[in-house]
Amino acid sequence: MERLILFDGECNFCDRGVQFIITRDPKGRFKFASLQSDISKNILRSLDTPKDLDSMVLIEDNKYYIKSAAALRICKQLKGPWKIVYGFVIIPRPIRDFFYGIIARNRYKWFGKKRSCELPSPEVRKRFLTDGN
């Protein structure tokens, strides 16, 4: 089953998160697309997501997960000890999302915005959905 992660393509922290996931997902189960792309906007519209999303989005089985739920579900599927992070799911979502929101609101201030995009290797590039494919 393929999983799609929509991320803020302008955010340094988000980019590092994508690189982190790629490294720990050697089977390539996760695909990626920038939230700023038309393909992401069309996908989000088709799933009837909230209009003001300021969060990473995980799409699995035509369902979407945002904020801490997305992050925890992703960790659960990564190689290595990251699976245990999913245990934080026992913390009530409003509390988890409160802390997620602090990072999300400050991500540009703390980590900066990307000025240019790195060109990934052809193997990794296949994992990114673009408006052209």
Q: What total of structural domains would you count in the chain?
A: 1
**Helical H runs in the chain?**
12-23, 38-46, 67-76, 93-111, 122-125
What pLDDT sits at residue 89?
95
List, for residues 45-54, the tens digit of each pLDDT value: 999 888 777 7
Contact between 108 and 11 under an 8 Å Cβ cutoff? The reply is: yes
Low-confidence ranges of the chain (pLDDT < 50): 1
| Position 132 in a domain | no
Return d(Cα 126, Cα 15) in angstroms, integer.
16
Return d(Cα 34, Cα 40) in angstroms, integer.
7
The one-letter amino acid code at 34 reads S
Contact between 4 and 63 under an 8 Å Cβ cutoff? The reply is: no
What pLDDT sits at residue 121?
62
What pLDDT sits at residue 7?
92
| Position 131 in a domain | no
Q: pTM for this structure?
A: 0.85
List, for residues 83-104, the tens digit of each pLDDT value: 999 999 999 999 999 999 999 9
Contact between 6 and 57 under an 8 Å Cβ cutoff? The reply is: yes
| Position 105 in a domain | yes
Return d(Cα 3, Cα 102) in angstroms, integer.
26
Contact between 69 and 88 under an 8 Å Cβ cutoff? The reply is: no
What pLDDT sits at residue 85?
94
What pLDDT sits at residue 125?
67
The domain containing residue 65 runs over which residues?
3-124
What pLDDT sits at residue 118?
61
